[in-house]
Structure 1
Amino acid sequence: MKKLHVISLGCSKNLVDSEVMLGKLQDYVITPEIKEADVIIINTCGFIEAAKKESLGHIFEALELRKKGALLVASGCLVARYAKEIKDMIPEIDILTGVSDYNKIDSMIRQKQGIIRENVFLNTDDKRIITGSNIHAYLKISEGCNQSCSFCAIPSFKGKLQSRNIDSILREIDNLAKQGYQDISFIAQDTSSFLKDKGIEGGLLKLVNAIEAQGAIKTARILYLYPSSTDFELLDAIAQSRIFQNYYDMPIQHISKNVLKNMQRSYKDVRSLLEYMKKIPNNFIRSSVIIGYPTETPRDFEELCEFLESFQFDRLNVFEYSKEEGTKAGELEELPKKERTKRIQAIKKIVAKNQKKLFQSMIHQRFECIIEGKSEISPYFYSARDKRWAKEIDGEILINDGKFENIGYYNVEITEYKDNILIGKIIES
């Protein structure tokens, strides 16, 4: 049997597309070694400059290491955004394909011919090979985005919002549940706008209620809520659900009205939404901020620092502004690199202080957790995560005591926090 090596870069949405390709290539044996592969697929990311460089780095490495006769396939966002430039710069790539035809990868490889179209692929009933877990899976509910954030190039190559219908999502959930997947993370560029492209308001609320009625899975969470398309009714529905965790992932990007206005993002209800989430029992609030946007004044930055000191997110990603061609913000003069770095460091200190305080407060508390097996940190520990937490991005709890039987749900007590690591013991399954 021929061997296949797949590198999936970027976000979890890209990972879902990579899993669709794996589902179409089940005649191949997966190999972790590029040198052994007959086909190498690199599913690229083209979101920001650092992601572009990483994707190109993997492509050049594959060209250097591949054996004679091996096919190199470059797919995904970077290709969709810069197909002509990549073809001219790296003609050694055998197959180029963007974000429109992941389910045709088998025929592309047979014909040694890529497909470049402006369409976007949205999985409905194509079988995926889930990677990285035997209990958790990502499920993409829509593609594209109708927002017009001034710093973001995604709509330029992903296009406008395209939602799946609820029935197709329920079918996929049922199929995943039959395979043993009981924990699902629902993803999209803008999950809270789900079904708005079909003229349906409250689409995500309808989906939450439908999944609740279906009852096929045990736990779920929703990633990437957008402030202007999120309301209190949706937050309440999540809080009242038996399945959906009180996990509120809303990238705010900033808190200053001045910066948000220049970013072309909604700023009217951001604070009220966050305060409402904070009042919901057992809440977990994740967000992200962009530091050093071209119009961010010292006062804007100070306002953000003051807010982050007082609000204290459970998790916060901090990104330095990245200038992207083809965006409105890309036409503005950037802040000096030295100033951006200084501001990033100041924010990271606040985040680290808040995170330490949060983790210390967890000692001697009990949480229902998902345990999937040994930790990558050490074979002497099992890896657990609070069932509210999203896989990989929210961290882990190392288990060094108690009886582990099978992958699944356990009550865990946090016993120690040391060197930024949480340690716990199993109380019961």
Structure 2
Amino acid sequence: MSKKLHLVSLGCTKNLVDSEVMLGKLADYELSHDPSEADVIIVNTCGFIEAAKEESISTLLSLHQERKPDSLLVMSGCLSERYREELAEQMPEIDIFTGVGDYERIDELIARRQSSFSPQVYLATERSPRLITGSNYHAYIKIAEGCNQNCSFCAIPTFKGRLHSRTLDSIVTEVSALTEKGFYDFSFISQDSSSYGRDLGIRDGLIDLIRHVELIPGVHSARILYLYPSTTSLELIDAISDSAVFQTYYDMPIQHIDDRVLRTMKRGFGEAKTRELLEAMRAKEGSFVRTSVIAGHPGESEESFRQLCDFLEEFGFDRINVFAYSNEENTDAYTMEQLPREVIEERTAILGEIAQRARERSLEKMVGRTVELAVDGESEEHEYLLSARPLLWAPEIDGEVLVNDTNDLEVKIGGLYEGKITERAGEYLLALLAKEQLVGSK
């Protein structure tokens, strides 16, 4: 009788890739959705901001309450790495602690009931065992680990280290192997994707990546997530737009628009450059522009906050992700004069309303369009509706389209279809399928 494994991956999609590697290393285990019957429970934690840390701890304690006797509870990932000494003392519920360097050793650690924190940060390669989860057509590809930026609010470089890029050959080999398994849509991710390759002496790493991926048979669609303004060039914006494979999708977290706040954040650029890049993105035909902003960073005056609000209202973003400032140890902003928590919460709520209006306007613009829709399965909204995603959108973060008319087509999960957006119904777009599209015909 095989042993059972229950794994929870928290935080970002970069964490998810590492979780999928652990699943690959533990392929002999039977996966279980029920933690009470699992022999091993793993939580791959997030330690980015306070809310994420609280979610990680809460998840672990809840699973401890549900676990069966003699099971193993494993804490891995960023939070475990960041607070390794404190957690070992304060959480006797955990049997095995491991950080961000031992994902491919997870089977060995479990067999030995041993905690481990390797000095090197792990970066998956084409040789890493990996069980792709959640999709039979889309995969995330981690192109680098670590970050060379010095943002005042971010502690990631303290436990993830400096930029460490994979080679182009490694990435191409992994993507090629996945296309042979039927995957045709890819999201390329890292902490600072637009710096990809700089540690390898590659000046325009993402442009080279685009050109290499375009040559891989079976890749129908791709996108790049997490561009950093000071390392994003107009040439890169053009390369993405001109690509026959990469979606005209731009995800650039600006965090703010006021020059003084950007300097305080140590973002290394200002309003003029930010606007230039964003306007170049928006000018591309059929572009989709996503950003992230922080509310309540130290030094954000009422005037600078209003400037940010006005910019977000008028620019025309398709999606805006809003973070409340979290005061994190080992960051430059930690010792700065902090804004009152109630001010941060109020500003976060205001930005959230702006983000909702931006999303609604973006959805409304899609009504009447014919788009490529990948079908993900039955929608949680209703058993008679199918959940689908326009290939222009990134998985998970940009939403879903509800298919309420299949046009009597034989629908396959993971299949690609030409669909027409017929209307907006509140938070969702409704679509009818026109015809099945052969993958690779783009």
Calculate the TM-score normalised by the size of structure 2: 0.95
Structure 2 segments unaligned to the other structure (5+ residues): 437-442
Matches within 5 A, 1:245-256: 245-256=247-258
Distance 2:5 2:266 in 1: 43
Aligned partner of 1:140 in structure 2 is 142
Aligned partner of 1:411 in structure 2 is 418
Aligned partner of 1:393 in structure 2 is 397
Q: Which moved more, 1:241-250 or 1:212-221?
A: 212-221
Q: CA deviation at 1:320?
A: 0.7
Deviations 1:61-112 (A, max 9, x none): 1221111110111000001000110100012311110000100101111111
Matches within 5 A, 1:220-259: 220-259=222-261
Deviations 1:212-243 (A, max 9, x none): 12233110000001111110111111111111
Amino acid paired to 1:204: L
Distance 2:349 2:56 in 1: 26
Distance 2:43 2:84 in 1: 14
Deviations 1:269-304 (A, max 9, x none): 111000100111110001000011110011101111
Q: Which moved more, 1:357-366 or 1:128-137?
A: 357-366
Amino acid paired to 2:394: A
Q: Which runs of 4+ in 1 moved over 4 A?
A: none
Distance 1:265 1:18 in 2: 30
> Secondary structure at 2:248's aligned position in 1?
strand
> Secondary structure at 2:247's aligned position in 1?
strand
Partner residue of 1:322 out of 301, 322, 326: 326
Matches within 5 A, 1:6-405: 6-124=7-125, 125-268=127-270, 269-402=273-406, 403-405=409-411
> Secondary structure at 1:214's aligned position in 2?
coil
Q: Which moved more, 1:235-244 or 1:375-384?
A: 375-384
Structure 1 segments unaligned to the other structure (5+ residues): none
Distance 2:177 2:383 in 1: 32
Q: Is the 8 A contact 2:319 2:358 kept in 1?
A: no
Distance 2:252 2:410 in 1: 34
Distance 2:308 2:370 in 1: 33
Q: CA deviation at 1:412?
A: 1.3
Distance 1:418 1:65 in 2: 39
Distance 1:92 1:310 in 2: 50
Decide whether aligned partners of structure 1 residues 218 and 20 sit closer, same or farther in structure 2, where only a CA change above 3 A counts. same
Q: CA deviation at 1:204?
A: 1.2
Deviations 1:140-173 (A, max 9, x none): 0000000000000000000000000010101100
- Counting aligned pairs with the same residue, the percent is 50
Distance 1:348 1:54 in 2: 21
Q: Which moved more, 1:88-97 or 1:278-287?
A: 88-97
Q: CA deviation at 1:372?
A: 2.1
Distance 2:352 2:243 in 1: 34
C-alpha RMSD of the superposition? 1.1
Q: CA deviation at 1:342?
A: 2.1
Q: Is the 8 A contact 1:44 1:77 kept in 2?
A: yes
Distance 1:37 1:378 in 2: 31
Calculate the TM-score normalised by the size of structure 1: 0.98
Deviations 1:330-386 (A, max 9, x none): 111211122222222222222222222222222222212211221122221111111
Number of equivalenced pairs: 429
Q: Which moved more, 1:103-112 or 1:415-424?
A: 415-424
Deviations 1:2-29 (A, max 9, x none): 0000000000000000000000001100
